[in-house]
Chains A and B, each alone.
Chain A
Amino acid sequence: MVQYILRRFAQFVPVFFGVTLLLFFITTLLPGDPVALRSGEKKLPPAVYAALRHSYGLDKPWYAQYGDYLGSLSPVHYSSKAGLQFTGPDLGDSISSGRPVVDIFKETYPYTVRLALTAIAIEILVGIGVGIVAAVRQYSIWDTLATLGTSILVALPVFWLGLMLQYFFGIILKQWTGGAFYLPISGASGPVFADWVHLILPSVTLASVSTAYAARIMRSQLLEVSGQDYVRTAFAKGLGGSAVLWRHEMKNALIPVVTFIGLDLGVMLSGAILTETVFNWPGVGLTIYQAIGRRDYPVVFGGVTLVLFVVLLVNLLVDISYAFLDPRIRLGGQAEG
């Protein structure tokens, strides 16, 4: 197993550098005017422009700039005065507000986390549940409904689903019940962990497409596993249908499903920009979206970078967790016989 983990790590390192290189390329080398990207698009006198350019290190050769870039990404900084400090990566300052980008995201990330965790919980409960029902009652009405439902969910735009949910549960429901009952459709009020009503619609929306995929994978895995020889052996030992399902089949079928959901968590933590935009949910995604509109590039780049590393980390962890789930990988190797 140690071998497996080390191998995964070894694959991770070049990808990490590749990603940073690509990010560097896109944010520094590719655009026409990197100075404008950092400090706004006002027309500047040439002297000021040149000074800014120098201060951003943009007159250095590209590999030196890359080095600077990597350095800025490090969350740990060393200065001769204060020694080693954990300050977080230096992602520049927002053009519109002047605040450090890192601080902006420190405030907004908790909201995204909350949304993502709720959505994952829905995905696990509903996705796995529907998948099991569809597989166990294959060819029944439930299976057909599940297949149809998931096919439709997977084909519709998430943001549109959010808007439709807003429409029905926020507006129409309000009309029908004379304003008595409705679900809030925008924003989040109160401290991060207190207000759950506002969480309902956004998390359902965010979870929807992923849940559809999870249900499909669960179903297909379960169907595949149920055709395996060891299932026949279990029946031959006198086990009944549900015992075979829960003890023998699920343990095998769940492995890829868990992996998928883990990866999905990474995706959801990446800001769910579409959902947050529709519901005005003050998380990372909304911040990035608003920054795009205001051309506040440091925030856009900083946000994408931050989120990207979270995804990479989660992916790595999921990869490694695979070793714990599958004893064939955990304990590798054949014994003598």
Chain B
Amino acid sequence: MSDDLKAVEVTDGGVIADVRPPPGSKPPTDELRRAAESRGNRTLYGDAWYRLRRNKLALGALAWLILLVLAAVSADLWVPQHFGKPNAIDTALIGTSRLLPPSPTHPLGTDDLGRDMFARVIYGARISLTVGALAVLVAVLIGILLGALSGFYTGWLDALIMRFADVFLAFPYILFAILLLSVLPEESRASIVPVVLTIGVLGWPSIARVFRSSILSVKENDYVDAGRALGASDGRLIIRHILPNAIAPILVYATMSIGGAILTEAALSFLGLGIIPDPVRSPNAVSWGRMIDDGRMYLTSNAGIVLWPGIAILTTVLAFTLLGDGVRDALDVKMRD
């Protein structure tokens, strides 16, 4: 009956190859759910962990990230010894060792000042990962606080906070960051604090909104179902019920946001607004974005200076996205039940 799927259909709109058979009833879902349930009953997060473990892509991403974190954290122990310091310039060797292609001694080649690219990429991971994680942490803390206030105490406080969030959301990301960072004194940019705060402050509205809507929906359930029974222990039980459910979407969002924060940090560094290495306070500060900016002029001589940091950013952000997807799939199904 449906063999003739490629029949060409002439409608009054033109000729388009007709491909799809009519979709329609899918197998009864209760059926499949019962079959799935036979696998056994688990707790909310236990089941999520089980699902996550089965997601190959997410696991791969997680493994890559763990590897990266370990490499970055332990960098001081092995990088300078084998590849040299990321920011140190050996004036004696510059002439011979600049812009070299990849080789056993320099796996990713060298940059225009003779510095080993691999070392720089590893140290760059430190900045990216730290800034990414901390910025998201800042956004989550502010967002949860304001979102909770908004969700619990509806009314004028809610309206005020949401308007406040709208104001922040009206700013295109990069512009706001540029504005903030350009007014800060340059000395402050030897540390990661300005960038972390800037990106964090950009991110709180989305988190606040997500948290607020979680609270609102759970609040409805609780009050309707157990309103009478709870009585005085209202607040306590609500916190105990709401938190586990409301935290789940935050977890997903936060994981994916780290990728976004890393991209933003790279962009800001590319524009020259990122971290500035200071020989005293932050001698090993390297940013992938800054590396790309520095390497622009040398595209013709050694494209690697631009290529490798970019690939590093790409893989790291992709890993966070895949991990976030995996976390969402793992938690989402449970949430639907």
* A156 surroundings in chain B (CB, below 8 A): 310, 313-314, 317
Do the beta carbons of A163 and B299 come within 8 Å of each other? yes
Q: How many positions in chain A have a CB within 8 Å of any CB in the partner chain?
A: 64
A65 smallest CB distance to B (angstroms): 16
Q: Which of A241, A273, A304, A311 contacts B21 (CB 8 A)?
A: A241
State the Cβ distance, B294 to closest chain A Cβ, in Å.
12
Query: In the complex, which residues of chain A have a beta carbon less than 8 angstroms from the beta carbon of B175?
Result: 270-271, 273, 304, 307-308
Question: Which A residues are CB-close (under 8 A) to B178?
Answer: 273, 288, 292, 300, 304
- Contacting pair A311 B23 (CB below 8 A): no
Selecting from A19-27, A66-74, A93-101, A329-337, the interface stretch reads A19-27
CB proximity to B under 8 Å, residues A205-234: 226-227, 231-232
Q: Is the CB of A152 within 8 A of B170?
A: no
| A51 part of interface (Cβ distance < 8 Å) | no
Given contacts A30-B183, A308-B175, contact A164 B318 (CB under 8 A): no
Interface centre among B166, B170, B307 (most CB of A within 10 A): B170
Q: Is B82 in contact with chain A by the CB < 8 A criterion?
A: no
Question: Is A312 an interface position by the 8 A CB rule?
Answer: yes
Q: A250 to chain B: closest CB distance in Å?
A: 11
**Minimal beta-carbon separation of A290 from chain B (angstroms):** 11
A304 close to B170 (CB less than 8 A): no
| Surface stretch bound by B, among A10-18, A78-86, A196-204, A320-328 | A10-18
Chain B, 1-22, contact with A by CB distance < 8 Å: what is the 0/1 string?
0000000010101001111111
Q: Contacts of B179 on A, CB cut-off 8 Å?
A: 23, 26-27, 300-301, 304
* Known contacts A160-B310, A163-B306, A312 near B180 by CB under 8 Å: no
B296–A157 contact, CB under 8 A?
Answer: no
In the complex, A22→B267 CA distance in Å? 23
Contact call A155/B259, Cβ cutoff below 8 A: yes
**Residue from B9, B22, B266 having most chain A Cβ neighbours under 10 A:** B22
Whether B317 lies near A136 (C-beta < 8 A) is no
A242 to B163, Cβ gap below 8 A?
no
- Please tell me if A87 contacts chain B, counting CB pairs below 8 Å: no
| Contact partners of A18 in chain B: CB under 8 A | 163-164, 166-167
User: Could you say which residues of chain B place their CB within 8 Å of the CB of A189?
Assistant: none
A293 is an interface residue with CB less than 8 A from chain B: yes
For B20, the chain A residues whose CB sits under 8 A away are 136, 241, 245
Q: Determine if B38 is an interface residue (Cβ-Cβ < 8 Å).
A: no
In the complex, A115 has a CB within 8 A of chain B:
no
A14 CA to B167 CA, complexed, in Å: 9
How far is B160's CA from A18's CA once the two chains are assembled, in angstroms? 11
B183 to A235, Cβ gap below 8 A?
no
Q: Is B237 at the interface (CB under 8 A from chain A)?
A: no
Whether B321 lies near A155 (C-beta < 8 A) is yes
Q: Which residues of A contact B263 (CB under 8 A)?
A: 155, 157
Cα distance A311–B17 in the bound complex, in angstroms: 41
Q: Are B19 and A137 in contact (CB-based, < 8 A)?
A: yes
For the complex, would chain A's binding face be called helix, strand, loop or mixed by DSSP majority?
helix
Bound CA span A60–B174, Å? 31
- Binary interface encoding of chain A residues 271-291 relative to chain B, with 1 for a CB under 8 A from any of its CBs, else 0: 101100110000000001100
CA distance in complex: A155, B303 (Å): 20
Contact A240 B18 (CB under 8 A): yes
* Among candidates A152, A167, A277, residue contacting B318 with C-beta atoms closer than 8 Å: A152
List the B side residues contacting A171 at CB < 8 Å.
Answer: 299-300
**Chain A minimum-CB-distance residue to B259:** A155
Let me know if B272 is at the binding interface, CB within 8 A: yes
In chain A, what residue has the closest Cβ to B19? A241
In the complex the two chains form, is B292's CB within 8 Å of A160's CB? yes
B322 surroundings in chain A (CB, below 8 A):
151
Q: Does A297 contact B (CB under 8 A)?
A: yes
Within B185-211, the residues touching A (CB, 8 Å) are 185
Q: Determine which residue in B17, B179, B271 has the highest number of CB atoms from chain A within 10 A of its CB, and name it.
A: B179
Across the interface, A292 reaches (CB within 8 A) one of B182, B184, B292, B314, namely B182
CA distance A307 to B178 in the complex (A): 13
Residue of A nearest to B296 (CB): A163
Beta-carbon contacts of A152-177 to B below 8 Å, as 1s and 0s?
10111111100110110001000000
Contact B183 A274 (CB under 8 A): no
Does A243 lie within 8 Å of B9, measured CB to CB?
A: yes
A contact residues around B174 at 8 Å (CB): 273-274
The residue that B180 contacts in the complex, of A26, A231, A274, with Cβ under 8 A, is: A26
Cross-chain contact A167 with B271 (CB below 8 angstroms): no
Q: Which residues of chain A are within 8 angstroms of B182 by Cβ–Cβ distance?
A: 292, 297, 300
Closest A residue to B159 by beta carbon equals: A14
Q: How far is the CB of B28 from chain A (nearest CB, A)?
A: 15
- Minimum distance in angstroms from A73 CB to a CB of chain B: 15
A188 cross-chain contacts in B, Cβ below 8 A: none
Whether A292 contacts B271 by the Cβ 8 Å rule is yes
Does B271 contact A274, Cβ atoms closer than 8 Å? yes
Decide yes or no whether A32 CB sits under 8 A from chain B.
Answer: yes
Task: Say yes or no: is A246 at the interface (Cβ < 8 Å to chain B).
Answer: yes
- Please indicate the chain B residues that have their CB under 8 angstroms from the CB of A154 in the complex: 321
Tell me the smallest distance from the CB of A29 to a CB of chain B, in Å. 10
For residue A299, give the distance in angstroms from its CB to the closest CB of chain B. 11
5 shortest interchain CB distances as A-B pairs:
A18-B167, A160-B310, A235-B22, A155-B317, A241-B20
Given pairs A167-B303, A292-B178, A304-B179, 16 additional interface contacts (CB within 8 A) = A15-B170, A18-B167, A19-B170, A155-B317, A160-B313, A164-B306, A164-B310, A231-B23, A232-B22, A235-B23, A240-B18, A241-B19, A242-B11, A243-B11, A246-B13, A246-B16
19 pairs of residues in contact across A and B, judged by CB atoms under 8 Å: A15-B166, A15-B167, A22-B171, A23-B179, A151-B321, A151-B322, A157-B289, A163-B306, A163-B310, A232-B24, A244-B22, A267-B172, A292-B272, A297-B182, A300-B179, A304-B179, A308-B170, A308-B171, A308-B175
